[in-house]
């Protein structure tokens, strides 16, 4: 499928958010998806994943997650310095700031012509941010890939308390993990699923891919698993389609 890719500036209460909007040239499914990055922001690796998703016919908006400070406009390298900078960006960002930006991004995508459905997805910290996007009643389905900090509230500068708000998820929810992810081990996964069911969520799917490490879908580095990535994307697209 032929795609169009545009850099966009998304209006927010205290500035703008840089993002990339990827759209099928033929109009696609009339279904928009906010895709939240990992701590490294708008890397070519994440944009390849966004293009992959858009090639199924979705309009994909990929915003920066640190759009207002010194990391605005910066795609971090996949090295120790980049990791430390990305973690520092998270530690300096209050949950309220993440939420304000989230509303701005969903508002922007909802206003794109021709769209009548909205969903969210994200990877690592972006998986946690996608979970919070699911609090928005406009978001009908959400896929969280190995969301970090969901089990203990660790997101940014304060305790996000996201699991305690699980009952605010009004749409369908799917969570993807790798079985060898040290950031979300088996006991953390059990804690998340228990909390979601206790909150009354019933349209819920959990996928644990055997052998998958943290960030197994990032196509850079030794942890990448192409076979599992394909399986996970197929499951996500099917879920977003509403099967």
Q: Which two tokens stand for residue 157?
A: 């500068």
Q: Which of 121, 137, 199, 190 is CA-nearest to residue 162?
A: 199
Catalytic residue, from 38, 101, 181, 225: name it. 181
Catalytic residue among 38, 124, 128, 136: 124
Q: For the stretch 105-124, what's the b/e string if a residue is b when 16 or more beta carbons lie within 10 angstroms of its beta carbon?
A: bbebbeeeeebebbbbbbbb
- How many residues does the structure list for the chain? 243
Known catalytic residue: 124? Answer: yes
Distance CA 80, CA 77 (A): 8
Sheet strands side by side (includes 15-24): 3-12, 15-24, 59-63, 31-36, 117-123, 141-145, 172-178, 204-209
Q: Among the options 61, 136, 214, 225, which is catalytic?
A: 214
CA–CA separation, 193 and 219 (whole Å): 28
Does the annotation mark 214 as catalytic? yes
Residue 234 CA to residue 228 CA, distance in Å, equals: 10
Which candidate, 62, 119, 124, places its Cα nearest to that of 89? 124
207 tagged catalytic? no
Q: What is residue 95's three-state secondary structure?
A: helix
Helices (H) and strands (E) in the chain, counts: 6, 8
Active-site annotation, residues = 124, 181, 214
């Amino acid at each position: 499928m032929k795609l169009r890719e545009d850099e966009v500036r998304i209006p927010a209460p205290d500035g703008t958010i840089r993002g990339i909007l990827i759209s099928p040239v033929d109009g696609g499914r009339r279904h928009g998806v906010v895709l939240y990055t990992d701590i490294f922001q708008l890397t070519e690796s994440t944009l390849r994943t966004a293009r992959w998703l858009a090639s199924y016919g979705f309009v994909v908006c990929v915003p920066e997650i640190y759009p207002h400070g010194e990391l605005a406009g910066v795609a971090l390298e996949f090295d120790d310095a980049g990791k430390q900078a990305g973690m520092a960006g998270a530690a300096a960002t209050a949950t309220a700031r993440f939420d304000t930006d989230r509303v701005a991004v969903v508002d922007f995508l909802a206003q794109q012509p021709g769209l009548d459905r909205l969903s969210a997805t994200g990877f690592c910290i972006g998986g946690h941010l996608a979970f919070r996007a699911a609090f928005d009643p406009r978001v009908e389905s959400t896929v969280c890939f190995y969301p970090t900090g969901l089990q203990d509230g660790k997101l940014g500068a304060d305790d996000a308390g996201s699991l305690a708000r699980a009952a605010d998820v009004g749409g369908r929810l799917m969570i993807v993990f790798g079985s060898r992810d040290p950031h979300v081990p088996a006991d953390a996964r059990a804690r998340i699923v228990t909390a979601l069911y206790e909150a009354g969520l019933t349209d819920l799917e959990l996928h644990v891919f055997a052998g998958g490490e943290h960030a197994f879908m990032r196509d850079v580095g030794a942890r990448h698993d192409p076979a599992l990535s394909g399986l996970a994307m197929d499951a996500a697209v099917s879920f977003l389609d509403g099967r």
